Amino acid sequence: MTPGIFDTMTFEVLTLFPDIINSYLSESIMKRAIERGAVRVDVYNIRDFTTDKHRQVDDSPYGGGAGMVLKPEPVYNALDYLDRDGLERFKVLLTPDGRVFNQSLAEEYAGDRRRILFIAGRYEGFDERIRAVSDEELSIGDYVLTGGELPALVIIDAVTRLLPGVLGDSRSAEEESFTTGLLDYPQYTRPAEFRGMRVPDVLLGGNHELIRRWRRKEALRHTLQRRPELLQRVNLSEEDNELIREIKEEEE
């Protein structure tokens, strides 16, 4: 089902640092998307679901070793509390060993999911038993960050910009890198010449068909040069194959 503009998508984030999330949401496109009702983001502090006097959320690892581990109880308590509303929520655990998030998954989430909850880890990671609550484990790439807040924001941002009515011009999302299967074509704005670098003449000429062809060719060139493996998943048209031949001839 493709959601309509008034079909609000809800994100929930369990974190130890709600301000990190809220700060990003209070600016620019995310702020406007929330104001327009396209998305709603509810942030919960895991520490609020502790039951001990010291509100402890972490503890040392069994078996010894460096750092601390996020305890299971506060996370399970938070989920018990949220699940009392009986609403269906898709639970995503953020972890470097998860499935790597990409644009196809952003599109899938934007189309299919109405309520996604993220669990942001911290410290050396989380108690292994927390994995049992999640529907999906996601990573945003092969590197280790300090916590799951940036990964949650990366995913929320990438999904939100695909929702109807969020970007001023829906073509903006449709033409972006990865959505078409290709990397984006180069963009220019005024001035027409800057420090000896000129904007390609075709973009100044106003011939829409020539501009379309040039953009497609440059998107193909970019992809061939930077991420050739992406081309294997694109259904290339006859025109694309002709443009690729031209690019190869130009580069010989």
**Region binding ligand SAM by CB under 6 A among candidate stretches 11-19, 127-135, 138-146, 178-186:** 138-146
Q: Name residues contacting ligand SAM, limited to 82-111 (CB under 6 A).
A: 94-97
Is 153 among the residues that bind ligand SAM (CB under 6 A)?
Answer: no
Is 125 among the residues that bind ligand SAM (CB under 6 A)?
Answer: yes
Residue 166: CB minimum distance to ligand SAM, A: 23
Residue 128: CB minimum distance to ligand SAM, A: 11
Is 144 among the residues that bind ligand SAM (CB under 6 A)?
Answer: yes
| Cβ closest to ligand SAM, residue 119 vs residue 220 | 119
Pairing label, strands 90-100, 115-119: parallel
Question: What is the per-residue burial (b if ≥16 Cβ within 10 Å, else e) of 67-98?
Answer: eebbbbebbbebbeebeeeeeebebbbbbbeb
Q: Out of 120, 156, 182, 220, which residue is the one contacting ligand SAM (CB under 6 A)?
A: 120
- Non-local (6+) Cβ contacts of 42 within 8 A are 10, 11, 12, 13
Which stretches of the chain bind ligand SAM, using CB under 6 A?
94-97, 120-122, 124-126, 139-141, 143-148, 151
